[in-house]
């Protein structure tokens, strides 16, 4: 079976991880992570939070800024990203592991909250991955996946991109839209996400809503609750 893209991250060279880190250092993406972090800390005061596909660890950094008593965990399939996250989070007490969400080594019912941003669309066998998320979450708790989606409103997104990149360097204004539109084309349609969830243990307990993050109107917030 063809990989959805996670395979390219497994062997990602260090320079490519640093390039990703650099390209995503825009004010708009920083705002996206800050808005997601605010959303998450409004849902738990303490306990264990796992960020799957944490990449350079920017979401974990923002969560820590808002509430330093939340215990932070990050997981990523790319060793280069893991190295980068550890560097970006120097001085913060955080547990970052390299691994595939499809089979982790966390014990059952371990996390109070699980999240991921822009990673779900890359997972091979997403149903199996969601079953693993179900296993490692505590009962009656939720996972919040923030994902861009393919059936976005094209003109709204292009307009938002122009505004968001207005103050950025010429390189970012040229490269970011290419990188972003390519990534959006790889994501799922909303109906495909619903079909995947319906094939998992979260089938009876999920909500999906369209949201704007960092002024970018192409995001879904997917809430998956582990019902007892």
Ligand X SMILES: C[S@@+](CC[C@H](N)C(=O)[O-])C[C@H]1O[C@@H](n2cnc3c(N)ncnc32)[C@H](O)[C@@H]1O
Q: Is 17 or 160 the residue whose CB approaches ligand X more closely?
A: 17
Least CB distance to ligand X at residue 228 (A): 27
CB of 122 to ligand X, least distance (A): 4
Q: Dihedral sign for Cα 10, 11, 12, 13, please.
A: positive
Smallest separation, CB 83 to ligand X (Å): 12
* Residues 131-134: contacts with CB under 8 Å, at least 24 apart: 131/200, 131/201, 132/101, 132/102, 132/103, 132/104, 133/52, 133/101, 133/224, 134/200, 134/201, 134/202, 134/224, 134/226
- Least distance CB 19 / ligand X (angstroms): 12
Which residues of this protein are in contact with ligand X, per CB under 6 A?
6, 9, 24, 52-55, 58-59, 75-78, 81, 100-102, 117-119, 122-123
In the complex with ligand X, which residue's Cβ is closer, 34 or 117? 117
* Parallel/antiparallel/unpaired status of strands 216-225 and 206-213: antiparallel
């Amino acid at each position: 079976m063809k990989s959805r893209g996670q395979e390219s991250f497994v062997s990602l060279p260090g320079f490519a991880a640093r390039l990703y880190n650099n390209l995503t250092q825009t004010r708009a993406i920083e705002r996206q992570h800050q808005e997601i972090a605010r959303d998450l800390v409004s849902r738990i005061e303490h306990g264990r939070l796992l960020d799957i596909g944490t990449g350079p660890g920017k979401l974990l950094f923002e969560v820590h800024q808002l509430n330093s008593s939340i215990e932070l965990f990050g997981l990523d399939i790319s060793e280069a990203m893991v190295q980068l996250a550890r560097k970006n989070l120097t001085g913060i007490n955080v547990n970052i592991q390299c691994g595939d969400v499809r089979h982790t080594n966390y014990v059952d019912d371990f996390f109070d909250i699980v999240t991921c941003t822009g990673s779900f669309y890359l997972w091979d066998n997403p149903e199996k991955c969601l079953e693993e998320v179900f296993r490692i979450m505590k009962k009656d708790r939720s996972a919040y996946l923030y994902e861009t989606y393919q059936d976005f409103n094209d003109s709204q997104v292009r307009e938002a991109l122009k505004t968001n990149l207005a103050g950025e360097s010429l390189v970012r204004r040229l490269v970011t839209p290419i990188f972003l539109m390519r990534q959006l084309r790889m994501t799922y349609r909303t109906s495909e996400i619903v079909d995947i969830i319906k094939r998992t243990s979260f089938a009876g307990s999920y909500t999906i809503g369209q949201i704007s993050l960092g002024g970018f109107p192409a995001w879904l917030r997917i809430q998956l609750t582990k019902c007892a």
